Homo-oligomer: A and B are copies of this chain.
Amino acid sequence: MSTARHDRQETIKKATQLFWEKGFHATSMRNLQDVIDLRPGSIYASFGSKEGLFKETLQFYANASLERLAAHAATSPPLDALKAFITESVSAKKGSSPSDMCMLAKTVAELTQDNAELLAEAKRLLKTIETAFAQLVTKAQQEGALDEGREPQRVASFLQMQLMGLKAYSRATDGKANIKALIDDAFASLA
């Protein structure tokens, strides 16, 4: 039975914060040791390598995103849930989240085939989120809130692309741009 003296989930959470802020390469194991308050031996016993730990933080991040989306979907109609999720993702208050970027998109941007497994994992998780989008779009169509002629997968692609663009753009402009207006423009084509 696991009798670890440190909470694994809590460790992953702290590591996620740091990796999300600084990216994979700019985060050193010594940074991590300080932040998660564990010495190398423990980290390597738990996660095997820097890559192993990073992979778990990616999954942790994606999971948290899916849960946020599900929470919106539980209380709002599908389209409203999607818009609320995207708005919340993009316009999170400065400082409340480690980076203005989506951690998965940031990872895909940063890594190359030198870290093929991590790159593939980030792509896979993005696809998972997109699938969740597509399911909500389908639900919206069944409820009559959206034209049935549109292919759900294509709409989901469009939304995912928009979300990536909005977050990247928001970061590039220090959030000074009129993000709300951009989101409205983006959703206009769905109305």
Binding site for B on A (CB under 8 A): 21-23, 25-26, 101, 104-106, 108-110, 112, 114, 122-123, 126-127, 154, 157-158, 160-166, 168-169, 171-174, 177-178, 181-182, 185, 188-189
Contact = CB atoms under 8 A, between A and B. Distances in A.
Given A23-B110, A162-B165, A165-B166, 10 more contacts: A21-B112, A22-B114, A26-B114, A109-B168, A154-B178, A157-B177, A157-B178, A161-B166, A165-B165, A185-B189
Contacts of A168: 105, 108-109, 161, 164-165, 168
A101 to B, nearest CB: 5
B171 A108 contact: yes
B165 A112 contact: no
5 contacts: A21-B112, A154-B178, A157-B178, A158-B185, A160-B169
B108 A110 contact: no
A22 B168 CA distance: 19
B114 A109 contact: no
Contacts of A172: 104-105, 108, 122-123, 126, 164
Contacts of A104: 172
A145 to B, nearest CB: 19
B174 A157 contact: no
A157 B171 contact: no
A188 B160 CA distance: 17
B25 A23 contact: yes
A73 to B, nearest CB: 22
